[in-house]
């Protein structure tokens, strides 16, 4: 049992500082999950230096052996799945069913990447010169530093660190200040799997003017060779600037204003179920959550009737309950931001389809609430109708149980609305028309799209990431992510015993140009 007042240590064994912060259960704020210590600037630097020193030996460990440690990690995640899932639910409020999925995503990622330890392939290439061999090799990049968010505290770190470690990189992690206990257990399981000391280093704390900022500063100091970040577009831009001036290509997985289109021939029951899950799963606190629901004008009224009927029946509340649609906001800050959005983004011409709105309390209670609303930070589901392309809420990521309704006349207009926010993470369309599907796949700007499914739902072997304000084109998961954590080395080995000059001394055969037929 974690007790109040307990200060945690980094994976390197150093105490992380004297400035303490609490991790609270958002469904019961009186439940203090743990008290953690923020790393000082010096300790962040020490963690990076230790990772850089350990890289010298870790990169020489055979890749199949590194992958074997990840296989052990996956088995440990399996044997601790329920305990870790309940820690996720307690610490950030995700319903237990979703929390199990969060942990399972990490298990799936381990299972997928284990074999990549035996497939870090290079190539042998024929030379144009005799007695000369050409090769290519994948080499690890070096120290990988990463800052992750608290909405997927097990799955997302696994997307980064499992391929990074298998490729031979060492790591420094600043996990979310909202989920430090989950991150602590994640790290302990990695080391119990057999990871050598210093390969994986954790520094707790927050972002601006805290541990996160100091970790970003380590790039300019030459202590970090690759950076990963999951979070807001604004912070991602700042990290991208730092990495850019150091000629580094970061992994940036940023925000979204994800569109879902429902065409006139769609299965409306299925589409309404998908919209409900996309918009309100995890209380809308996913980067892939539904932002703009774009309805064909011919089915608008019928669809909204079906949708509102489904919304009226959802259960909200205690995330340990197996059948709640969503639980609390991740923290008091996330609730505060959501309430601010309700005050500042809604315009007079728009119409709120859901009542009441704002914070759920004992006096202002959702009729299907499970538990005590006054104990935690819960919010009503909110649907905003009559949103137009020029509205601020159309292009603002709200990161809460809120989404917009828009109308289109045809698929061309739907695609224009879907692409017009500047974000390009996830998307979805509901239709039975092959021509619509083909055009949608061709013209949607988002890095990911679903046909007759929701905007959420990553799988461990499919590339995850976005374009535009949603990221810099980097991708997580699947075999493609190996390119993020390795660099190519070209080797030519000349066994001729003399200097051979390619292009200048190559013995190309000349054709007999005088021959005619």
* Distance (Å) of CA 264 to CA 174, 270, 510: 46, 13, 65
Three-state SS for 12? coil
Q: Which of 253, 264, 397, 408 is catalytic?
A: 253
Q: Which of 45, 287, 397, 408 is catalytic?
A: 287
Give the count of beta carbons closer than 10 Å to the beta carbon of residue 87: 23
CA dist 211 and 203 (Å) reads: 7
The set of residues, in sequence order, having a beta carbon less than 8 Å from that of 493 and lying 6+ positions away, is 132, 133, 134, 135
* Distance (Å) of CA 491 to CA 120, 133, 504: 16, 8, 20
CA dist 368 and 31 (Å) reads: 24
β-strands 226-230, 143-147: how paired?
A: parallel
CA dist 509 and 128 (Å) reads: 12
Q: Is 253 a catalytic residue?
A: yes
β-strands 258-262, 428-430: how paired?
A: parallel
Backbone φ and ψ for 510, nearest 5 degrees, come out as -85, 140
- Burial zone of 124 (CB within 10 Å; 0-12 exposed, 13-18 middle, 19+ buried): exposed
Tokens of residue 245, six digits: 């001036």
Residues acting as catalytic residues: 253, 287
């Amino acid at each position: 049992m974690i007790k109040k007042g307990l200060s945690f240590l980094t994976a390197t064994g150093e105490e992380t500082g004297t400035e303490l912060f609490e991790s609270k259960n958002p469904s019961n704020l009186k439940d203090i999950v743990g008290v953690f210590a923020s790393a000082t600037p010096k300790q962040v630097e020490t963690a990076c230096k230790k990772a850089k020193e350990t890289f010298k030996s870790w990169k020489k460990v055979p890749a199949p052996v590194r992958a074997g440690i990840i296989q052990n990690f996956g088995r440990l995640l399996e044997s601790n799945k329920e305990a870790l899932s309940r820690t996720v639910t307690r610490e950030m409020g995700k319903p237990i069913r979703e929390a199990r999925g969060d942990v399972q995503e990490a298990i799936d990622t381990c299972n997928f990447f284990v074999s990549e330890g035996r497939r870090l392939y290079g190539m042998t290439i024929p030379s144009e010169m005799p007695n000369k061999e050409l090769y290519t090799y994948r080499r690890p990049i070096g120290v990988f530093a990463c800052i992750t968010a608290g909405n997927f505290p097990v799955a997302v770190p696994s997307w980064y660190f499992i391929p990074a470690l298998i490729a031979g990189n060492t790591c420094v992690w600043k996990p979310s200040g909202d989920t430090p206990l989950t991150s602590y257990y994640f790290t302990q399981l990695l080391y119990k799997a057999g990871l050598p000391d210093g390969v994986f280093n954790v520094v707790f704390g927050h972002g601006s003017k805290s541990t996160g900022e100091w970790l970003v500063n380590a790039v300019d100091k030459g202590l970090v060779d690759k950076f990963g970040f999951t979070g807001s577009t604004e912070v991602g831009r700042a990290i991208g600037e730092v990495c850019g001036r150091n000629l580094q290509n970061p992994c940036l997985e940023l925000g979204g204003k994800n569109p879902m289109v429902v065409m006139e021939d769609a299965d409306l029951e299925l589409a309404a179920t998908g919209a409900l899950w996309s918009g309100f799963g995890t209380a809308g606190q996913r980067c892939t959550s539904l932002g703009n629901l774009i309805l064909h004008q011919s089915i608008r009224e019928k669809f909204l009737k079906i949708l509102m009927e489904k919304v009226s029946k959802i259960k909200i509340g205690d995330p340990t309950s197996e059948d709640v649609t969503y639980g609390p906001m991740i923290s008091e800050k996330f609730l505060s931001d959501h309430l601010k959005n309700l005050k500042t983004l809604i315009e007079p011409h728009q119409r709120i389809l859901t009542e009441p709105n704002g914070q759920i309390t004992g006096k202002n209670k959702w009729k299907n609430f499970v538990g005590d609303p006054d104990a935690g930070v819960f919010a009503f589901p909110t649907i905003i109708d009559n949103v137009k392309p020029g509205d601020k809420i159309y292009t603002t990521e709200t990161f809460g149980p809120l989404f917009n309704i828009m109308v289109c006349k045809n698929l061309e207009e739907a695609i224009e609305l879907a692409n017009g926010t500047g974000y390009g993470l996830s998307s979805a369309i509901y239709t039975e028309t092959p021509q619509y599907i083909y055009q949608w796949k061709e013209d949607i700007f988002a890095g990911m799209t679903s046909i007759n499914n929701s905007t959420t739902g990553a799988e461990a072997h499919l590339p995850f990431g976005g374009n535009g304000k949603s990221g810099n084109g980097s991708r997580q998961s699947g075999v493609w992510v190996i390119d993020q954590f390795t660099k190519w080395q070209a080797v030519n080995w000349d066994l001729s015993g003399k200097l051979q000059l390619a292009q200048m001394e190559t013995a190309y055969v000349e054709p007999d140009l005088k021959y005619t037929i």
